[in-house]
Amino acid sequence: MLGLASVIYLAGFLSLYFSEPLFNSSGDPEKRLPRWQLLVWIFSAGSDELQHPFATLFNRFTHFDWAVERAPIILLASFVWILAIMLGSLVISSLVKRESVTRGEWIILSAGLGLGVLSCIVQVLGLAGVLDRYTFFVVAGVIISLWGLSFATRGRAMDVYEKRSSPRVSLQLAVLIPSGIVLGLALLSAMLPTPDYDAHAYHLLGPKEWFLAGRIQFLPHNVYTSFPFLTEMMHLVGMVAWGDWFYGGLVGQSILSGFGILTTAAVMCVGRRLFDENAGWLAALVYATAPWTYRLTSIPYVEGPMLAYGMLGLLCLTRFSQGHVVWSLMAGIFAGAAFGCKYPALLMVAVPLGAGVAVLSNRRTIPLHMIAFGGGFILLSGIWLVRNMAWTGNPVFPLLYDWMGATTWDAVRDERFVKGHQSSSFMFSLLGSFARDVFERSDWQSALVFSFAPWSLFSRRRVAFALWALIVYLFLMFFFTTHRLDRFFLTIEPVAALLAGAGMVVVMGWLGRWIPAIVTTFIVLFNIAYVSTPLCGMNLYTDPLSSVRKVALDNVAPSLAALIDSDLVKNDQTVLFVGLAAVYESPYSSRYNTVFDSNILEQITRDPHTGGLRRADDIRSSLARHGINDIFVDWSWIKRYRSPGNYGYSDFITPSLFEELVKEGILRPIAPALSGQPDWQLYEVVTEAGKP
């Protein structure tokens, strides 16, 4: 009976899943591509709309010129990972007995911890103003030397690892091959210039500014750079080690892509501990081949590392049977590292892990375990809190302004920021709609996840109920405490993958191997085809970086691309960007502000007493103090910010302001409609003598 029910459920779920249109395929809802059409293309010769995915992949890899160009990037990224594993191993060896974990668990725990500690080291060096290649390689040399000394003096007893049975080789290959394809393609995509707006506006832009300045300092024009920046320090590592912000940024992206592999390995290890070997391997397959995993791995988002740290923390909880308080400390360290990636990790990673520590501890030792957990959390998160306290007087700036204030913030900007980062409607219908996004409607969700996850409840493991309760908690946190971008529900994904692995084992027990294997193969082929298309991200895996760079910039900031192509501004000039904040690729000395920060042009031109225009001489003097040679206005972004429901934009910045500045002889129009676009306007600052 249960076997028949699972077949009916699979048929119904897959019908629903593949009938959904892909939101990302078109801005017009009537023209959005249904998922089933990709299935048709897999078994066809392609179409005019989209070439056959597998044929396209094959054609891309018929030459190897690209490998020579990418080799230095992946080599430097690999060096940083090896360095992190050595660093993490040094720390863990002083805390954990090697025989308490498997060799694989030792490596992934070392890698996760090492990257977190390395990020803190870079932050300290940056704040001290010693960001240079020489310092980086000195630090690297010290880490390698200490690890070599530790390795040479380690006793044989330390090399004993817990032995565990291995699943069939056929299952291992069935997991490793498709997982390797998806994660490998994601790595190749990560080595390309990214087309993601947030990366150009702060994930990469902040590290670039610090690299050029030679130190980490408060950036009052970019509020996002006051977020915890554990992952962004990897971009800074790449820039410093390479000596160039562009190629160093690609190294940083490649370093972060490794977190996709790390999370997959952690999911497997946790699945083995909580369920069994087969469930662990199948859970790894579910997670690794999910479009979400590809997307998080190919784009320099912070969610991928945050998920890795959440899984590593959960792995620590699985070792509680040994009763050592060190595992509470380790869980706290990984919770702190997750918080270092993103503020919401406090509720979505740290609180669940802390609750797990409390539940698994006996009543007598709960205080000791919670102190250890809290201490570990502070060890990896404290640096971001202290930094913000020194910069703004608020350790979690720009959050909690009403409670803690901030020396660089005000109520108006806080209201705009809070309005843009929280939800105001909590209708039950919305709850159901977002639940459906998580379940099957999201463009990046894999059909494998909830095809099998529900059947984990029949695994006879109480932990399955606990994991489902965790999913419900994480979804409620997403719905009630965030502004509901789809990336904010992603802490659910690896947990659901664990349940899917366990559910797959249950269904195999009812139906035998073949039906689940056919369904899984079918979905995995679809996922590989999908992630290799432009619908899921940058897929110009083997194109020259110079051409991909232009494609990415045209997607993120077409106005900046047009300005660069126009050659109207020399690279040694300083440009004030108005409206546009994604200026990572700007070759000029750039002045800009995010929509939430004080508008630089308004500060320069507005009289704080009258609210009108300041005297022309005062404006000229202020422009000179800022060293501004040109002003570039992107009205399309200003209009977008001012559209209903958006963030809003300073009312002072209007076309009439620029008309007045031109009339006063302060600005001279160079391109009133750059590239024929009236929304892109370039002005030259005129000196007091009337010359530019």
The pLDDT tens digits for 368-425 are: 999 999 999 999 999 999 999 999 999 999 999 999 999 999 998 888 888 878 777 7
> Could you give the angle at the alpha carbon of 121 between the alpha carbons of 115 and 126, nearest 5°?
125
* CA distances, 211 to each of 47, 129, 194, 347 (Å): 46, 10, 19, 32
CA R_g for the chain: 26
Confidence of residue 552 (pLDDT cuts 50, 70, 90): very high
Quick: pLDDT tens for 167-180: 778 889 999 999 99
Looking at per-residue confidence, does 365 or 274 come out higher?
Answer: 274
Structural domain of 562: 557-685
Examine residue 431 and state whether it is found in any structural domain, yes or no: yes
Examine residue 628 and state whether it is found in any structural domain, yes or no: yes
Examine residue 197 and state whether it is found in any structural domain, yes or no: yes
If asked whether residues 562 and 497 sit together in one domain, one would say: no
Examine residue 79 and state whether it is found in any structural domain, yes or no: yes
Q: Exposure pattern of 269-306 as b/e (b: 16+ CB <10 Å)?
A: bbbbbbbbbbbbbbbbbbbbbbbbbbbbbbbbbbbbbb
Burial label, 203 (beta-carbon count in 10 A; 0-12, 13-18, 19+) = buried
β-sheet bridge partners, residue 575? 590, 630
What's the mean per-residue pLDDT of the chain? 91
pLDDT at residue 37 is higher than 90 = no
If asked whether residues 477 and 615 sit together in one domain, one would say: no
* CA distances, 452 to each of 207, 388, 522, 658 (Å): 41, 44, 14, 60
**Three-class SS of residue 262?**
helix
Examine residue 298 and state whether it is found in any structural domain, yes or no: yes
pLDDT at residue 294 is higher than 70 = yes
Closest listed residue to residue 682, CA positions, set 631, 635, 637, 642? 631
| 23, 33 contact by CB (below 8 A) | no
Quick: pLDDT tens for 637-660: 999 999 988 899 999 999 999 999
If asked whether residues 563 and 462 sit together in one domain, one would say: no
If asked whether residues 524 and 597 sit together in one domain, one would say: no
Examine residue 29 and state whether it is found in any structural domain, yes or no: no
If asked whether residues 596 and 510 sit together in one domain, one would say: no
If asked whether residues 512 and 644 sit together in one domain, one would say: no
Quick: pLDDT tens for 201-233: 999 999 999 999 999 999 999 999 999 999 999
Rounded Cα gap, residues 396 and 410, in angstroms: 15
Rounded Cα gap, residues 686 and 624, in angstroms: 10
Closest listed residue to residue 339, CA positions, set 80, 109, 116? 116
Examine residue 158 and state whether it is found in any structural domain, yes or no: no
If asked whether residues 190 and 270 sit together in one domain, one would say: yes
What pLDDT does 49 receive? 47
Rounded Cα gap, residues 156 and 135, in angstroms: 35
What pLDDT does 34 receive? 86
If asked whether residues 498 and 569 sit together in one domain, one would say: no
- Mean predicted confidence (pLDDT) in 479-507: 93
- Please give the full DSSP string across 659-685, using - where no structure is assigned: HHHHHTTSEEEEETTGGG-TTEEEEEE
Task: Tell me whether strands 589-591 and 680-685 are parallel, antiparallel or unpaired.
Answer: unpaired
β-sheet bridge partners, residue 606? 613
If asked whether residues 143 and 252 sit together in one domain, one would say: yes
| 87, 145 contact by CB (below 8 A) | no
Rounded Cα gap, residues 297 and 310, in angstroms: 16
The number of distinct structural domains making up the chain is 2
| 221, 107 contact by CB (below 8 A) | no
What pLDDT does 422 receive? 79
Burial label, 662 (beta-carbon count in 10 A; 0-12, 13-18, 19+) = middle
**Which residues contact residue 506 at a Cβ distance below 8 angstroms, ignoring those fewer than 6 apart?**
455, 456, 458, 459
What pLDDT does 169 receive? 83
Quick one: tokens of 147?
């690890």
What pLDDT does 156 receive? 46
Examine residue 414 and state whether it is found in any structural domain, yes or no: yes
If asked whether residues 451 and 578 sit together in one domain, one would say: no
| 213, 320 contact by CB (below 8 A) | no
The helix (H) or strand (E) run that includes residue 181 is helix 169-190
Rounded Cα gap, residues 57 and 75, in angstroms: 24
Confidence of residue 158 (pLDDT cuts 50, 70, 90): very low
- Please give the full DSSP string across 44-89, using - where no structure is assigned: SS--SSS--HHHHHHHHTS--HHHHHHHHHHHHHHHHHHHHHHHHH
If asked whether residues 512 and 569 sit together in one domain, one would say: no
Can you give 78-126 as a three-state secondary structure string?
Answer: HHHHHHHHHHHHHHHHCCCCHHHCCHHHHHHHHHHHHHHHHHHHHHHHH
Quick: pLDDT tens for 441-465: 999 999 999 999 999 999 878 899 9
If asked whether residues 485 and 605 sit together in one domain, one would say: no
Domain boundary (503, 536, 569) is at 536
Domain boundary (536, 571, 598) is at 536
What pLDDT does 55 receive? 65
Rounded Cα gap, residues 12 and 18, in angstroms: 10
Closest listed residue to residue 255, CA positions, set 212, 203, 214? 203
* CA distances, 325 to each of 93, 96, 352, 556, 635 (Å): 15, 10, 18, 48, 57
pLDDT at residue 46 is higher than 60 = no
